[in-house]
Structure 1
C-alpha cells in the first residue's frame, strides 16, 4: 500500500508539473507576447499556442546546440538581442530569423552555412528540418524573440547560467 501511495503521489506530482508547464504560455500577457516582427520595427503578438509550439520545437530542433540561447559551437555568438542585432543582416526580428532558418549565413552575412547549420535549405542533411512548416519556423523565431523578456539576462548569458 505504501508503494502504491508513493507511485500515485509521483504521478500526481508529474501531472501538476505538466499542467503548470502548459499554463506558462497562457499566463504570459499580450505585452510580454509582443515581439518585433520585421526590420521596420512592426510588432506581432504571439498566440499562447505559438508560444508553446515555439518552445517545444526550439527545444527539440535547436536546443541541443542553443540551450539557453547560447551557441555551443561558437559561444561568442548567442541568440540574445544584442548578438542578433549585430549580425549582418540583422537577425533581431521574427522574419529575419525565419529567413536565417531557411538560408543560414555566417555572422557577417558573407557565406552560406547551410551545410553546417540546420536549415530548410539543408533538410537533406538535417532530417529534423524536413517536417518544419513556415508556421513552425515562425513559432521557433517567436520563441527566440520572446525568451529575453521571459528569462531576461539568462537568455544568451552563457555558462554562468547553464
Structure 2
C-alpha cells in the first residue's frame, strides 16, 4: 500500500521534472512584424521589444483596462481602441506619437475640446493617481501595446460585449 505522502512527493517530482523540460510561456512570443508599429503621422515605424509589449500590457491593465478592457471604451461603445476608430479620431491616434500625446493631454474624438478632467492623463494626474508616475517610456510601451493588440487579439480587440 502506497502512502499519501509518497504519492504526493512522486507527483511533485514528476511535475517539477516536466516543468523543467517544457518551457513555460507566460505570453505568446510575438515576431518582429507583429511588434512593428507606426511611430508617427509620417508612417515611420518602430519595432517594439518583447519586453516593451509585456510592460505595456502590465501598465495598460493597471491604468486603462478599467474602462478599456479588451480595447473597448465603456463610456462610448461606438469608439474603441481598434485601429479603425483610432485612425478616424482628430488627430488620428493610430501611431505611437499621437497616442502618447493623447495620454498626456486627452482631447475629444473630434479634436475640439480638452477632456483631461474626465479621462486619465498625465495632465490630470492629481485626479487620476495611477497616471502620476508614468514616464515617457511607460507611455511608449502602453501605446505600443494598444497598437499591437489588433494583430494579436484580432476581432476580439475592440469587439465589445461580444467578447468581454
Q: Deviations over 1:43-85 (max 9, x none)?
A: 0000011011001000111011000000011111100000001
Relative to the length of structure 1, the TM-score reads 0.87
* Equivalent position SS for 1:44: strand
- Following superposition of structure 1 onto structure 2, how do residues 16-55 of structure 1 map, counting pairs within 5 Å? 19-22=24-27, 24=28, 27-55=29-57
Does structure 1 residue 142 correspond to structure 2 residue 139?
A: no
In angstroms, what is the RMSD of aligned CA positions? 2.3
Within-5 A mapping of 1:1-162: 1=4, 5=8, 19-22=24-27, 24=28, 27-162=29-164
* TM-fit CA distance, 1:8: 5.6
List alignment gaps of at least 5 residues for structure 2.
none
Size of the alignment, in residue pairs?
154
The structure whose Rg is larger is 2
The Cα offsets for residues 102-147 of structure 1, whole Å up to 9 and x where unpaired, read as 0000000111000010000000000000010000000000000000
Distance 1:161 1:128 in 2: 26
Question: Which aligned runs of 4 or more in structure 1 are off by greater than 3 angstroms?
Answer: none
